[in-house]
Structure 1
Amino acid sequence: MNRHSGPPPGQHVELPHDHPVVARVLGGMLLRQARATPDRVAVVTSSGTLTYGELTGRALRIAEAIDDPDRPGRRVAIRLPRGQAQVVALVAAALSRAVQLAVDVSDPAHRTDALLTDFEADLLVTDRATDELRPVVPALRRLLVDERGDLTGPPAGPGAGRPAPAPLSPRGPASPEDVAYCVYTSGTTGAPKAVEITHRGITGRLSWLQEAFGLTPQDRVLYSSSCSFDASIGEVFWPLTAGAQLVVPEPGTRRDPDRLAAVVAEHRVTVLQMVPSLLDLFLLGRRPDERYDGLRLVLAGGERLTPELVRRVHARTSARLFNLYGPSECSVYATSWECPRDPDPEEVLIGAPVAETDLFVLGPDGRPVPDGEPGELYIGGPGVGRGYWRRPDLTASVFLEGLERLEGLEGPAASGGADGPDGPGRRGGRPGRVYRTGDLVRRRPDGLYAHLGRVDRQVKIRGYRIEPGEVEQVISRDRAVRQVAVLPLARGTDTVLAAALVLHPGADPGQAVERIGTLLAGALPGYLRPAVLAPVTELPLNAAGKLDAKNLAERLAATAVQPHMSAGAPPEPARGRPDTEALITKIWQSALKVDGISADQDFFDLGGDSFTALRSIRALERELGRDIDVSVLYAHPTAASLAAALGDDV
């Protein structure tokens, strides 16, 4: 099959609305809805509304200017502020046979230049104000529109001079296997890469959304994500292919919780789809006793959803809350889980695979791992993207073309997927094609999946392989914890596990540390419990908005009490009174559930952590009748050195 396989050059093709291709091509789904409900309101903005007929009419005029009859699959970038014009342009690109890339106008110009150059854009759809204020790639051909989405002059390029299409009549359809859009994701090398997603992939996800959640004409869906992220694809095109209304807030609203809350209330929004960090911000936008009872559905995805945020959503709304997971490489969504109204949820799962999706959990040897064991997640099905634009080596490393390359894998039944019509692991489209996510998951006996973090975050401490995400998941159950990051921390010549805790305002750090210590002791073995629990004001982020682990480790190392170190041969350790040493070892044996501890053994090597350290110091205080700072134990982690540090005044 050719890369783009539309009709012959210059030929218009009209397909009946019930033709099977219509349901597998994004433009076909949009046109089918517009024909069915031309007078229904489709888009709501602060400046007015657009009906489905008005939206599609304007979009088709732009699509006609975009399309080149001699070159299907033009690469079109859209750079417009959030509003009517942006939505019209996004729909126009979908109605054409173009590959679209949406660029956020707030991105730095040098980044936009780099993306448009890498994307090899043929055409830029923008407005005059944006283009003059923040010019990019001067040589790139422009198609200018006004704030309503109408063309402001003769169309640029090969589309100029051709007659306008009949109302609601598309140019020839794209093929389901053609690329519908690209979205850039950050890479480990620092260079962004463009994921190519086909019409078959994204239309399958939109169909699943409608089957799973059933939008009605009364529903209003908020457009909250940046257009440069793949979540916006679902936010924009799901309501517009289902006959619902898309509510488009003004630029800048998503960063202001009060304005965001006002938009939801004023426009009677019923469906939210947000990343958890934005959802958290949104809930800060009104007084704590106010509720959002107009919301019926909240979809969270793109980041880890914490039990605390689940509790807050349920406390402030009567909406059903779902946690959605999926890499950009797999058409936005891959799994879904409804968060139950549990007053004290212990774990937020990523759930079960969505329609037409296979999941495989494999170990480092490429073989399926048993239920309950952690392994790397591989995703199969027609939602898997074509690969990375102009990055064949990177594509080959994570987009695997055949299940036979995965040793020992015999089909989805091995890890909970479902067989498609073409046999195990094959659902039409691309038989056996899978994407290696780099995410560490665990499949439970009930078939649901838990996300444990990234494979590349695994650390090895004292011979144990540790996944920080597993520890973070437990810590995040505490109501006081807003954010948590677990990472290895150097302590002298040793390495320990540390947890940085961002607490909610008003939370007592000491009480939180005690509770979390108890929580960890009851949920995880000793080697998985952090030796340091450190409340911090914030987690440092890098330029990509992700955790800056190196920066955080340096901060913790600078503030944490370290064991005494000296140059040259270590001196003989100072010793305290034998009865004090004996008292300390007795307390440690009780706290750590370890017998036969000697005075020279390191408390933390024995499995001690922040909680058991605090508990041991409190017990020692009671026995000695004096106050003792817990930091003394971190500086003197053996019974002998601790007894010496406490001195003879005991």
Structure 2
Amino acid sequence: MTDARFDVPAHWRSNPQTYDYLRSVHSLVEERARVAPDTLALQFLGRETTYRSLERRANALATRLRAHGAGPGTTVALCMTHAVESVAGMLAILKSGAAYVPMDPTHPPERLKFMAADARCGLALAQSWTCDLLDGTGLPVLLCDDAPDEEPGDVPNTPGNTLITPNTVSPNDVAYILYTSGSTGDPKGVVVEHGGVVNRLLWDQQMFPTRPGDRILHHTSLGFDISIWEILAPLAAGACLVLTPPADLRDPMSLLHLIDSASVTVIGLTPSLLRALLDAGLDKQTGRSLRYVFCGGEALPTELARRTADSAGVQVFNFYGPTEATIDATFWCFRPDEHTPVAPIGRPIGNCTVQVLDVEGTPAGIGTPGELLVGGPGLARGYTAGVTATDRVFITVTDRGTARRMYRTGDLVAWRDDGALDYLGRLDDQVKIRGHRIEPTEVEAALTAVDGVAEAAVLASDGPEKTLLAFITAQPGHALSAVEVRNRASRTLPPYMVPSRVQIVDTIPRDANGKRDRRALLDSVWPARTASQEPIGETPTSQLASLVGRILGTGAPDPKADFFDLGGSSLGAARLIALVRRELHTDVTLRDFLSEPSVAHLADLVIRGRVEAAEKDR
């Protein structure tokens, strides 16, 4: 137990509120359905769903789930792509009293199998096109896409559409189990209760009042904790949830068009995706309906926040919070006079408590770096992995005689003299890639499990376009193929954890203390990253090389070099195509570029596109 005697004001460290968060998550949505049943709740692919219809569908599914044994203390896998059914399925599981376990359809079957067993799922909800992914889990699967809006005898035809025999769901019951990268080599499940989610939603309504006319965009995977806010924040406030079609999730231009055409007013984004949207043309015209842009998942550069506020004319907020703190723990409103390179993570959200402890475990004063601890009703119950893993990071801290359960985030922060927290980095090797939390040891375990791999070192690249890099050594007598090793690792790792590049080295360099020499590894990575020696002119090749250099934070590359070998990512490729369309006024497709991802090939596509456009104009 740590004794904390703080020398910073108490109101910096906590944000007490009086609203009642001791209720179930789905009760907030049910309340909105009772008040305004015919208000628009969902919009997806031209289809509009009212709160009445959503409640009927969710209640019908909840009744089916109960008939198959779902209830308090049980878990149900949810393996679905974006659709009305995925939202109804989430609500149905909560209504049944069970906890939902999101399973991303893009993840390999082996990972889904592990999660289903680790979370002790007894049942699954899926769509007809995702159910085959669960074959290895052995779970009975209920299909959502063939369920009617209501089933005779299951749901009364009343505005509230309450269940005939509702289960009593406690605020201490589990709402969901979300899996994050684990430092032991396997993903770890974070167990989150209803009361913590409700606290976050009620604070949101108080801080950012949402009106029935507001529209919030849902564009992230159900396994990403921001999706919980995206889905439930509008539905708990009586607003409209706009669902992004799966085909548009990776295309900034398509997202931008949806924001404009659906009149989206509030959106949550990682800084990486926000930059891609700005490159695609987000401004006061295309984003004219936007009121708020919420950033989170990774550090927010101040220049990016300023560019967003200036270009789109919106308020920009920076949010911080590990999955263990139920979506968010702190927030900060961007100010034009902000002078730090990275936006601060700010102050606690409603009912949240934060503490900063130095290396001695004592309270850190203003300006002194220390580990951030967070607590409050949003604190997760713990991990599915058991008591040992939970007790290592969920600890008890005594604050002026009051014992508080808190989570050690592993993030290094410091108090500013205005009461905000500055984010300084990590105390361990954990990295963030486009908002995803990745433990390098889990990726290394997947790589060394490949036959012939002796050792692996995984780290994030430098520069604005962060990617995951892997270095491997071969066992004696084995000839390794970097492509084959990467492909084998992808059988157990989700796409965002598969290294962008695997490089075979003779040895992993180490410093004088025996630790891996990160700088030496990075310096050996990109032989193709040196700038092209071709004279710079106004040819398509030189213009495109300049754009690639801007995205990667380097000079103009060799036109023949592979974009991904240069350190590019799929999101970076989408940014590049958006910039080509916007600045070179040429319509090329991402698919065509990915068929041969080099500046030289892209230049050919641009020239061809211009010729075809000129012929059409004749």
TM-score, with normalisation over the residues of structure 2? 0.66
Q: Partners of 1:48 and 1:275 in 2: how far apart? A: 27
User: Hey, what does 1:258 align to over in structure 2?
Assistant: 253
Shift of 1:550: 7.0
Code of the aligned partner of 1:255: R
User: Hey, what does 2:168 align to over in structure 1?
Assistant: 173
User: Hey, what does 2:606 align to over in structure 1?
Assistant: none
Shift of 1:437: 0.8
Q: Partners of 1:70 and 1:225 in 2: how far apart? A: 26
Code of the aligned partner of 2:373: Y
Code of the aligned partner of 2:214: D
Aligned pair partner of 1:204 in 199, 215, 223? 199
Tell me if structure 2 keeps the 8 A contact 1:322–1:336.
yes
SS at match of 2:361: coil
Tell me if structure 1 keeps the 8 A contact 2:21–2:199.
no
Alpha-carbon distance change, 81 to 538 in structure 1, aligned in 2, over 3 angstroms: closer
Q: Partners of 1:222 and 1:550 in 2: how far apart? A: 42
1:602-613 equivalences under 5 Å are: none
Shift of 1:287: 7.5
Q: Partners of 1:229 and 1:558 in 2: how far apart? A: 30
Q: Partners of 1:146 and 1:386 in 2: how far apart? A: 32
User: Hey, what does 2:190 align to over in structure 1?
Assistant: 195
1:422-501 equivalences under 5 Å are: 424=402, 432-457=404-429
User: Hey, what does 1:150 align to over in structure 2?
Assistant: 148
* Residue 403, structure 1, aligned to residue 397, structure 2: yes
Q: Partners of 1:76 and 1:230 in 2: how far apart? A: 17
Identity of aligned residues (%): 33
Tell me if structure 2 keeps the 8 A contact 1:219–1:271.
yes
Code of the aligned partner of 2:130: T
Code of the aligned partner of 2:135: V
Code of the aligned partner of 2:162: S
User: Hey, what does 1:30 align to over in structure 2?
Assistant: 29
* Residue 556, structure 1, aligned to residue 531, structure 2: no
User: Hey, what does 2:77 align to over in structure 1?
Assistant: 77
User: Hey, what does 2:237 align to over in structure 1?
Assistant: 242
1:469-525 Cα shifts (integer Å, max 9, x gaps):
9xxxxxxxxxxxxxxxxxxxxxxxxxxxxx97536xxxxxxxxxxxxxxxxxxxxxx
SS at match of 1:329: helix
Q: How many correspondences in the alignment?
A: 439
* Residue 331, structure 1, aligned to residue 298, structure 2: no
Q: Partners of 1:70 and 1:226 in 2: how far apart? A: 24
Alpha-carbon distance change, 555 to 220 in structure 1, aligned in 2, over 3 angstroms: same
SS at match of 1:366: coil
Shift of 1:253: 1.4
Shift of 1:136: 2.8
1:175-199 Cα shifts (integer Å, max 9, x gaps):
0111111100111223111101111
Q: Partners of 2:525 and 2:215 in 1: how far apart? A: 50
SS at match of 1:284: helix
Alpha-carbon distance change, 104 to 559 in structure 1, aligned in 2, over 3 angstroms: closer
Tell me if structure 1 keeps the 8 A contact 2:302–2:338.
no
User: Hey, what does 1:51 align to over in structure 2?
Assistant: 50
Alpha-carbon distance change, 218 to 71 in structure 1, aligned in 2, over 3 angstroms: closer
1:127-146 equivalences under 5 Å are: 127-132=127-132, 134-137=133-136, 139-146=138-145
User: Hey, what does 1:310 align to over in structure 2?
Assistant: 305
Unpaired runs of at least 5, structure 2: 1-18, 433-459, 471-492, 501-515, 528-618
Alpha-carbon distance change, 116 to 310 in structure 1, aligned in 2, over 3 angstroms: same
Code of the aligned partner of 1:105: P
Q: Partners of 1:201 and 1:325 in 2: how far apart? A: 16
Tell me if structure 2 keeps the 8 A contact 1:67–1:74.
no
SS at match of 1:28: helix
Q: Partners of 1:40 and 1:291 in 2: how far apart? A: 26
Code of the aligned partner of 2:418: D
Tell me if structure 1 keeps the 8 A contact 2:78–2:100.
yes
Tell me if structure 2 keeps the 8 A contact 1:540–1:551.
no
Alpha-carbon distance change, 60 to 553 in structure 1, aligned in 2, over 3 angstroms: farther
1:240-639 equivalences under 5 Å are: 240-286=235-281, 291-342=286-337, 346-400=341-395, 402-404=396-398, 409-410=399-400, 424=402, 432-457=404-429, 502=463, 539-541=467-469, 545=496, 553-557=520-524
Alpha-carbon distance change, 71 to 326 in structure 1, aligned in 2, over 3 angstroms: closer
1:251-270 Cα shifts (integer Å, max 9, x gaps):
03121011111111110101
1:232-254 Cα shifts (integer Å, max 9, x gaps):
10110010000100000100312
Unpaired runs of at least 5, structure 1: 1-19, 155-160, 412-423, 425-430, 459-467, 470-498, 504-536, 561-650
Alpha-carbon distance change, 29 to 257 in structure 1, aligned in 2, over 3 angstroms: same
Alpha-carbon distance change, 551 to 21 in structure 1, aligned in 2, over 3 angstroms: same
Which structure has more RCO (C-alpha within 8 Å, separation ≥ 6)? Answer: 2
1:310-369 Cα shifts (integer Å, max 9, x gaps):
122123211110000001001111000001134866441000001101111012222111
Code of the aligned partner of 1:33: R
Code of the aligned partner of 1:403: V
Shift of 1:26: 0.5
Shift of 1:71: 5.2
Q: Partners of 1:62 and 1:36 in 2: how far apart? A: 22
SS at match of 1:180: strand
TM-score, with normalisation over the residues of structure 1? 0.63
